Amino acid sequence: ILISTVSATMAGAISMLANFATFFGGRDDNGRPVNPLAGIAVAILAPLAASLIQMAISRAREFEADRGGAEISGDPAALASALDKIHRYAQGMPMAPAEAHPETAQMMIMNPLAGGGLRGMFSTHPSTEERVARLLAMARR
């Protein structure tokens, strides 16, 4: 819960700074904006940066949940095997409902959204391969 609070606070702070920059920054003697393009750029980029921070923290929480699950089970390799099996099973399932409603992706065990590239940057879940690799590294310790 603390991580969610911190990420929401950071996102809010970025948005507030963008609003302050838009309304109070860079005006000439007549009150006109000196560089309106900078204000537009900040208004567009600040919410994007806030979203990226929240999504990165969401992925970090996923790794933390895996670590906690491995500690509770006492067998990180078994958890890695279970994740791999769920992933392979989910690959054969149609994900059209999840693709139609991507806002529900964070409620899934596996990432239901297809695609790579930039989509990984905006993903709420880390890749299954990365999760399995971290769990197997825990098992080797």
Residues 43/18, Cβ–Cβ less than 8 Å: yes
* 1 vs 127: which has the higher pLDDT: 127
Q: Domain residues for 63? A: 2-140
Sign of CA dihedral 63, 107, 58, 102: positive
- 75-127: per-residue pLDDT in tens? 999 999 999 998 888 777 666 666 666 666 666 666 665 555 555 556 667 88
Domain tally for the chain?
1
Residues 56/118, Cβ–Cβ less than 8 Å: no
Model-level pTM? Answer: 0.56
SS3 for 54-97 is HHHHHHHHHHHHHHHHHHHHCCHHHHHHHHHHHHHHHHCCCCHH
With bands split at pLDDT 50, 70 and 90, how would you rate the model's confidence at 131? very high
